[in-house]
Every structure is written in C-alpha cells, then in structure tokens.
Chains A and B, each alone.
Chain A
Amino acid sequence: MSNSTIVLPIIFQFVAGTILLFFWRKISVQKVLSILFSTLGLGISVWLFLLVWEHGILVTQSGDWKAPFGISFVADIFGVTMVLLSSIAGLAVSIFSAGSMRRERLEFGFFPILHLLIMGLQGAFLTGDIFNLYVWFEVVIISSFVLLTLGGKKQQLEGALKYVSLNLLASSLFLIGIGFIYGLTGSLNMADVAIKLDSLQNRGLVSVTSGIFLVAFGIKSAIFPMYFWLPASYHTPPPAVSAIFAGLLTKLGIYAMLRTFTLMFGGDEFMGDIMVILAALTILSGGLGALLKQNMGKIFGYLIVCHIGFLIAGLGMYTELAIMGTVFYLIHDIIVKTNLFMVSGLILKINGTQDIRQLGGMYKNYPLLSLLMAIPLFSLVGIPPLSGFWAKIFLIQAGLDTKEYVLIGFIVLGSFLTLWVIARLWGEVFWKNSTDLPKKADGLYFPQMSKIDQWLMVFPIVLLSGISLYIGFGAENIILLSQRISLELMDPSGYIEAVLGLKTINP
C-alpha cells in the first residue's frame, strides 16, 4: 500500500532540529522546545505504528520513481517499532539532559544535534534502499561525533578519536559492500536486490559480500573482535549522551544486520555458524570485562557488549523462534540500556563520582530512588517476570530446537555474569556504608539543584522503568508484536511484494 505520510517522523525531526538552531545559545527556550518536539515526535511515531499495525506494510517512492529505480521508503512493522523505540529513548534523553547537563555543554547546539541524530536513526529504520541506509548511517555518526566531543574534555577527545576512526573504517567497509552488491545485481533497492541475489549462480561472491557487511555492521554494533572502541569511549561523554548512544547506536548496527541478513542474505548457513561463534565470544568477553571494571560507566559499557551477544545469537540460529527472541531482546534492551546510563548519571550527580569503590550508602540516603533504580538493574539481569527474562527464554528454547547446546551454555553464563555484575554493583553502591567523598568546589550536586531540575532527572527514569515493567508484565503483547516481526523477517516475500508492487514473486 502506498502512503507518502510515512516519512513524516524524519521530516518532523529535521524541522525540529532546524527550528532549535534559531534559538542558538538561548538554552531555556531550547529545553522547553526540545521536550515539546520530542513529545510530538513520539506522538507521530505512535500514530505511524498504529497505522502500520492495522494496514500492514506501507511504502512510498520518493519523487514517484517506480520501485527499483528511485529511493523507496518502507514502513514495515519492524521499522516502525524501532522508530517508536527511538522516539521514546529520544524523549527520555531530551528531558534528562534538560535537567542534568551543564550550561556550557548545552550552549553549543546539543539539542539541535540530538534531534538530527534521532532523524538519522528514524531515516535508517524507514528506508528501503541500501545506499540510502548508508547515507542515514553517516547522518547518525556525524551527529554522534559532535555529541561525543561536545565539551572537549581530555578524556572525551581521547575516546572520540577511537570512536571516530573505527566508525570511519566501518563506513568504508559498508561502502565497499554496497559496491559489491551493485556490481552483482545492478540494483540498490533492498527488495529488488533480494530477488536478484537469490537467482545468482556465484554463491561464493554473495558469501564474501555478506562477510563484508558482517564486519562493517559488526564494528558498529560492537561484536566480539571489533568491540574495543565501545568501552573506551562510551563512558567519556556526559551520561545523557551515553544514554542515547547505548540505547540506539549499537542497536542501529543490529537493526541493519537483522534487515540485510534476513532479506538479502537469508539463511546462509556458513554465516549463521560464524555468528553463533561470535555471539558466544561476545557474551563471554563483555561479561568478563564488566566484572573487572570499577567505573560504573565502563561496567555498563561492557554490559552493552555482553548483551549484543544475545542479539547476534538469535540471528545466528536463524529460526522463527530465535529471531523472535532477538526482536524481543532488542525492544527490552533499548529501553533498559538507555535507562541504565541515566541511572548512572543520577548517581554521578548525587555523589560526584562513578567509581563503585568510593560510592556507597545510596539505599540509606535515598531509599525511594534506589527502589526506582532497582527496576532497570533487575530487568537487565532478567529476574522473572521482569523484561529480560522472557527474551532469554525464547533464545534458549530456540537453542534447544537447533541443538546449539554450547551457545545455550554461553547464554546462561552471560546471564549469570550479568547477575554477578549487578549484584556486586548493588552491594557496593547501594548497601555498603557511605564514605565521605571529597566534594568539588564548582560542582552542582543533586540536593542543591532546583526542584524542577531534580524532577527533570528523575522523571525519564520513572518513564522508562514503567515501560520496562510493561514489557515484563504485559509480555503477551510484546510477544505478539515480536512474533509478527519475526514472521515478516523470516518470510520477506510480503516486504518484497509491497515494495516492488508485484502480485506474485514465486509461481
């Protein structure tokens, strides 16, 4: 079905970013406008989600060029779910940064860039063209570079150098992969490429191309041998920025992988085996890394890597149940990881440090806030019936079906390591007796902040914790959603028909 309004989220975020640019250096106006725009953007995403839920896949061809020739925008249920999640994370971060970020950081265009970042993400989730996906990737990374370096502290610059150089390398590889795709099929439209790759005789070249894509997206989503930039850079910017990075940037790589490896390189067994091995190693190295570190930002950085492993595992097993588990985990992970970094930001604001050896006494001093922070932490571990639990059940079930017993072992080990890390964190930060921390003279701590700022910091955590609880307790709805997504991903003929406007693909 053709419907040109599906690009509305992208255009809206672009307009929002542009309007915010006109209020350069007027921070208080920007704060109000950004929260307003994010709320409206969330509304648009919900509307688009409901539209697609009701009518199925919606397609628009830019410039009215017919499908394989122009750039297609496709809103399938997977894409709009991601758009919805990115809007939720964007709203939470916009509110949180309005409360927590220092003025000198906000002055140089934080809010406009935040909206442009969300625009890039939503563009990537809605496009149906592989080169257009590359362009949205670049929009996302250039915005993330600016957000990462804003403020220009020594640590930030160092982390940013690693982040920037590896992302540039990944982009080059992605471009090379696109070149191969174009050389093999003469098309860039993902649906059209899918048909043409299917009928190609030279399977070796297809495998090589998919390998290049695996490396390119693997760097972006931080899977095993390519994850080192993540723990080196994610803890350096302010927690509000880390929150949006943790929630959405690595997941963009996972989205691209899910899209290309189901639609274009569907069911390549060799790649599946490689992914299963990489997933196991990613889980192990992320979990062990998190166990070693003492800085909360770094611990959470390694936990991101660990849980990327779960997502890759589902894709590697490549059954309907496994993809369903991956999608469920993706939904849960975006919300929880965004929330985790905001929690670490709140703890930083209260105590002035993120070193868990020095922290302590949170539960005694702030019992209600601690209970609130317990929700994302325990959801992450997956204590039933919280949200992480359900996804792991499906992944393990899928592992039993495909007889990947070693992988199941690693998934269980990964959950156990996460539990250990969170238990250690809980003991050190919340239960241990508090120590007298040296206070920075120029620092503004949580108790001295105005009531409005305090609420601006707490409210997004409440919001995302509420959504986490809903994912856990209302799991049947999320299961329904991820089941539908996995059905559409595993059988892309509906997607291809909708994009190319064909009636039948295979007689």
Chain B
Amino acid sequence: MEILLIIIIGLLHAGGLYMLLRRSMFKMIIGLILLGNGANLLIFLLGRLVKGNPPVIEDGMKVFSDIYADPVPQALVLTAIVIGFGLQSFAIILIKRVYKVLNTDDLDELNSTDEEI
C-alpha cells in the first residue's frame, strides 16, 4: 500500500510542477491544486499507515496495548484540505477576474507590473 501511495504522491508532484511551468494561467492553478493534494497525501503517508486498529483504548485498559492508527495526520489533512479549498476557490475567482479584465490567459503577457520602470 505504501509503495502505491508513494508513486501517486510522486506523480501528483511531478504533474503539479509540470502544470505550474506552463504558460497558461488556468493550467497554473491546476498545478497548484495537484501540488496541494500531493502534500496532503504525503502527510497521510508519513503518519504511518495502520489498517483496522482504531485509536480507541479497550475496556479495562489504561493505555494502548497494541499498535493503533494515528488520528493526528487525519486531522491535519482534513484541516489542510479545508484551508486549501478556500485558497483555491479564491485563486480561481481571481483568475476569472484577471481573464475578464486583461483578456488573456497567457502568463507571458502579464508583465506590465514588471516592465514599466
């Protein structure tokens, strides 16, 4: 299972970076979304994958006796997804506005703030 996740994370990061380096604004935001998802999966993986052992202490016990699934990474990923969702929706609206005002999708043409002295 780990190896599969590692491959997926690698693909997400590679795809995200590739999309970021394209000239289109729209592809750039897709790249950022892919990178964000890759980061979320990475946290999930680094929290160790454990199957079928909920983090619940059994009756009559004081501490965990067996291996258990760590709930913290899941909480982290959930938080990161929510935050990422907010930021990405802002970015998409921004891109729509930029497209409407400047009438171009090409990042190479968005250089008026750099070029003028």
Contacts and interface: CB of A to CB of B under 8 A. Distances in A.
Interface string B67-110: 00010110010011001001110110011011001100000001
Contacts of B20: 169
Contacts of B98: 157-158, 160-161
Contacts of A172: 32, 35-36, 38-39
Interface stretch (A14-22, A179-187, A451-459): A179-187
A173 B80 CA distance: 12
A418 interface: no
A120 to B, nearest CB: 12
Interface string A150-189: 0010110111111011001101110110111011001010
A293 interface: yes
A145 B76 CA distance: 23
Interface in A449-493: none
Contacts of A298: 117
B37 to A, nearest CB: 9
Contacts, number: 103
A182 B87 contact: no
B93 to A, nearest CB: 9
A141 B25 CA distance: 20
B103 to A, nearest CB: 11
B113 A183 contact: no
Count class of interface residues, chain A: 35 or more
Given A165-B28, A176-B42, A183-B47, A142 B102 contact: no
A231 B117 CA distance: 11
Contacts of A145: 87, 90, 94
Interface residues of B, number: 38
Nearest to A69: B72
Contacts of B32: 165, 168-169, 172
Given A152-B97, A154-B101, A182-B73, A161 B110 contact: yes
Contact of B102 (A154, A159, A295): A154
A195 interface: no
Nearest to A148: B94
B39 A175 contact: yes
Given A135-B79, A182-B72, A295-B117, A158 B112 contact: yes
B59 interface: no
A431 B101 CA distance: 39
A232 interface: yes
A162 B95 CA distance: 11
A149 B96 CA distance: 13
A233 interface: yes
A236 interface: yes
B14 interface: no
Given A158-B113, A172-B39, A178-B76, A149 B94 contact: yes
Nearest to A139: B83
B112 A179 contact: no
A131 interface: yes
Contact of A157 (B80, B83, B101): B101
Contacts of A188: 72, 76
A233 B20 CA distance: 19
A391 to B, nearest CB: 30
Given A142-B86, A293-B117, A161 B25 contact: yes
A102 to B, nearest CB: 19
B42 A179 contact: yes
A107 interface: no
A183 B117 CA distance: 47
Contacts of B91: 164-165, 168
Given A145-B94, A175-B80, A182-B47, 7 more contacts: A131-B76, A157-B101, A157-B102, A158-B113, A169-B32, A231-B114, A293-B117
30 contacts: A135-B79, A135-B83, A138-B83, A138-B87, A141-B87, A142-B90, A145-B87, A145-B90, A145-B94, A149-B94, A155-B112, A157-B101, A157-B102, A158-B98, A161-B95, A162-B113, A168-B87, A168-B88, A169-B32, A172-B36, A175-B43, A176-B42, A178-B43, A178-B76, A182-B46, A186-B70, A188-B76, A235-B113, A236-B113, A295-B116
Closest A-B pairs by Cβ, 5 of them = A183-B46, A179-B43, A175-B39, A294-B117, A172-B35
